[in-house]
Structure 1
């Protein structure tokens, strides 16, 4: 990543008013450009489970079909006004027939839908698309039960059984592929538009994948499973500032020995997909590449786990050599040891600093602006934190008084004061959640770690982004020396 001073805004696609990559996303890019922001950071855009968590998806590759813009399909003439309220499968089946009859012709500057483009997409994405398509169709046929509850032939990924299934479900499988094609085409158009306006897309890759996913079903040997394909250990983190019992995420752990012996091919495929979607990728839970917290699957909490080493150096070296154009950021929050820092420094990866963690302890706190280095990404807070206003209203008194003393203000203008602190820091990149720019309280929080309700649902409204708020944030960008050169 270039080390010029830059500003990013953190907002997930689903937090746009329409929650997809259609006209609202383009309008948002225009507003970012107006504020002289050069980076738009999102959460993972993979297809989630029913809880809608972007960090628990049914595939490490497949795009979130809920982010497909029907309005964009309508504007491009692929569907009719009286079809927009159809179910996704019904609507996309009609779109597919129109694209097929239209042949090789794209309606949008060569980057839109075409049947020849669909064929190229299927060929290029074959390394994950075939298994994903079978997985989704089988999952629906078996009442959305986890794959380990399917009949044995399907559960064991038996080639003969899967071929027979495919032969009798070809139309359904083709539609699933085509739906993914729509997502990736719409995303490509958005990325081109953003890049042309000087804005890079900044994504997020969860270090682990869900057990109930196409990846684990199709490649069980890459994971620590027993002879019956059940997890022996699960991922999480030990007790920390988020939870006194830690977090038991429940993801399977990798069989790193086999992965490394194979040249990390599965990981390279995963990064290949992300490199098409984003200019920058945050490696979530980076410390897991040095050592990850393994919890016996029988344990109800994360307390009785242990650290299991991982070949992070070899993996990162392979990724960076294979994808030199992709910029990586390390999410190095939580329990960070010297070994984790050494791994990050070995590849000169920027780490993350969170201002909400900076107050309430001593002046050696590593998140205070004077204690960070330039190769950092400074946040007021992330999707796992409260909004800055919500944090300020609820934080314990000692931290609030520390902030007042630090700012030399008895009644700081929040969240403006925290945003100014982040942007004026030495960090080459400062990222502010959209909720802070809008001045929203804790009711707009995106996620509370360790909980499974009332998360991932926040959406902004355009009337909240007033001209005054745009002007105020643009002024912060200029004051901090982060405006366009």
Structure 2
């Protein structure tokens, strides 16, 4: 479906400022929404909200495609609910206010969340109990599996579910019943955290919607092997029946980002099994996502047409092959069950005419990246003169360097082409490249334009969120204070937004 002409900002909630070491759903999130409103923006794009594991990637290492990340729960909001004493909240000292130090944040926040749970459990009555019971009942279809999985993961010292005792790994009913009784308190703790996460998130989304701001959520096509999703629905994935490990894993072949490709490590789907199940699990994913966001970006859209499958014992993504995806049938099933959906297609990478045809048959907007536009000459389809209206243009995404970081590393030929294309007399005349790309994005015919907050701030490579060619150290950037959302940033963005009818 096509979207109205609009613009917005890309920022994951963990990148918000907070005295507790990681961005959360408290005051700074509301201040960010106020900034969006004042600067004329009507879109806020986020990354997947799920709880993360190893290296904290919200795309490849999430414990659930349905759950929320408890690290985003605002401690101040818990105090407002009477579940913590506001005076007892001690800030987590920052060694670097622009980085999330997960190894420090996790035990710090867990202690407060445990305290809040104990008070919640002791005061569960009246309206609070009614809201909690309603949440647990309405979300039971994914919540019950998830909270048991997380309690079992903790009881097994973080070992992958495929290494648990076989009766539990295979979900034998008697074994699950026994564990559910034995781990009741830890299960209840997990259920409490999901309740508070989604309560806080729902309040925040309603605040955004009241200010005419829609939230673009993200459905990552793959899920982590060590997740409640794969443990609860193993037949939907290509697993080795003996070891229960991934027989085949996902990734992409060598490309712009990596000479050996990207080996993500996620199990690939058994699409025949998904089809036989009427795509129920997938349809529930979209239903769940649309409970909490307004628009859905489908990450790695091309895999629905064909996907790169690599044997599970490979160390790089080079020795894989393209396997047909579910294609039209899948999206027709979605439409039949849920109607026409507000889907955006992440169609970057190796895109074939077949992928473009699938995207266009369902009228999904694709993506254009300005940072990709100025290498390769006038035929580069990321150049604005190729854009259809039904697309989304970005200066860059969470997977790219910042505009300034890119410009500092760009070659002379690429810089010269940009200067010539945008009407400069020479490269020396190009100043504030971040605002050059912001202006160019907003001026295009693309219906939607999204700018990473780092580019509004004019940050260099230190503000990069993710480098897909490097596994350690990603997903940690955050800004230090809401004061950085300056009046100057607000006014410049507002002026350009008005100028280009966004």
Task: Say yes or no: TM over 0.5.
Answer: yes
- 1:109 aligns with none
Within 5 A, what are the aligned runs for 1:80-479? 80-84=85-89, 88=109, 91-96=112-117, 98-99=119-120, 101=123, 103-105=125-127, 114-228=128-242, 229-324=244-339, 326-409=341-424, 410=426, 411-413=429-431, 414-460=433-479, 461-479=481-499
Task: Flag the 1:397–1:35 CA change in 2: closer, same or farther, 3 A.
Answer: same
Cα distance in 1, alignment partners of residues 159 and 124 from structure 2: 38
Measure how far apart 1:83 and its partner are. Answer: 4.6
**Deviates further, 314-323 or 210-219:** 314-323
Cα distance in 2, alignment partners of residues 210 and 130 from structure 1: 18
Q: Kindly tell me the number of residue pairs found equivalent between the two proteins.
A: 474
Whether 1:71 aligns to 2:76 is yes
Cα distance in 1, alignment partners of residues 186 and 328 from structure 2: 42
Within 5 A, what are the aligned runs for 1:43-62? 43-55=47-59, 56-62=61-67
> Structure 1: which 5+ residue stretches go unaligned?
106-113
Measure how far apart 1:98 and its partner are. Answer: 4.6
SS of alignment partner, residue 126 of structure 2: coil
Measure how far apart 1:183 and its partner are. Answer: 0.4
Deviations 1:1-53 (A, max 9, x none): 56321001001101111201111111100000000100000111110003111
Cα distance in 2, alignment partners of residues 50 and 251 from structure 1: 13
Cα distance in 1, alignment partners of residues 111 and 382 from structure 2: 50
Cα distance in 1, alignment partners of residues 306 and 116 from structure 2: 46
Cα distance in 1, alignment partners of residues 495 and 17 from structure 2: 25
Structure with more contact order per residue of length (Cα contacts < 8 Å, sep ≥ 6)? 2
> Structure 2: which 5+ residue stretches go unaligned?
91-106
Measure how far apart 1:454 and its partner are. Answer: 2.5
Cα distance in 2, alignment partners of residues 200 and 370 from structure 1: 28
Measure how far apart 1:95 and its partner are. Answer: 3.5
Deviations 1:128-187 (A, max 9, x none): 111111111111111101111111111111111110111122122112111101001100
Deviations 1:228-247 (A, max 9, x none): 21211110001111111111
Decide whether the 8 Å contact of 2:399 with 2:465 is kept in 1.
yes
**Deviates further, 231-240 or 322-331:** 322-331
Decide whether the 8 Å contact of 1:43 with 1:204 is kept in 2.
yes
Cα distance in 2, alignment partners of residues 261 and 2 from structure 1: 31
Task: Flag the 1:87–1:448 CA change in 2: closer, same or farther, 3 A.
Answer: closer
Cα distance in 2, alignment partners of residues 35 and 204 from structure 1: 24
Decide whether the 8 Å contact of 2:345 with 2:364 is kept in 1.
yes
Measure how far apart 1:362 and its partner are. Answer: 2.0
Cα distance in 1, alignment partners of residues 110 and 380 from structure 2: 52
Decide whether the 8 Å contact of 2:24 with 2:74 is kept in 1.
yes
Within 5 A, what are the aligned runs for 1:28-47? 28-47=32-51
Q: TM-score, normalised by structure 1?
A: 0.95
Cα distance in 2, alignment partners of residues 463 and 294 from structure 1: 46
Deviations 1:203-227 (A, max 9, x none): 1111011111111111111100121
Whether 1:14 aligns to 2:14 is yes
Q: TM-score, normalised by structure 2?
A: 0.92
**Deviates further, 423-432 or 42-51:** 42-51
**Deviates further, 275-284 or 407-416:** 407-416
SS of alignment partner, residue 474 of structure 2: coil
Measure how far apart 1:272 and its partner are. Answer: 1.6
- 2:99 aligns with none
Decide whether the 8 Å contact of 2:308 with 2:321 is kept in 1.
yes
Measure how far apart 1:94 and its partner are. Answer: 4.5
Deviations 1:270-319 (A, max 9, x none): 11211111101100000000000001112211111110001121111222
**Deviates further, 116-125 or 84-93:** 84-93
Task: Flag the 1:285–1:2 CA change in 2: closer, same or farther, 3 A.
Answer: closer
Runs of 4 or more off by more than 4 Å in structure 1?
85-90, 96-100
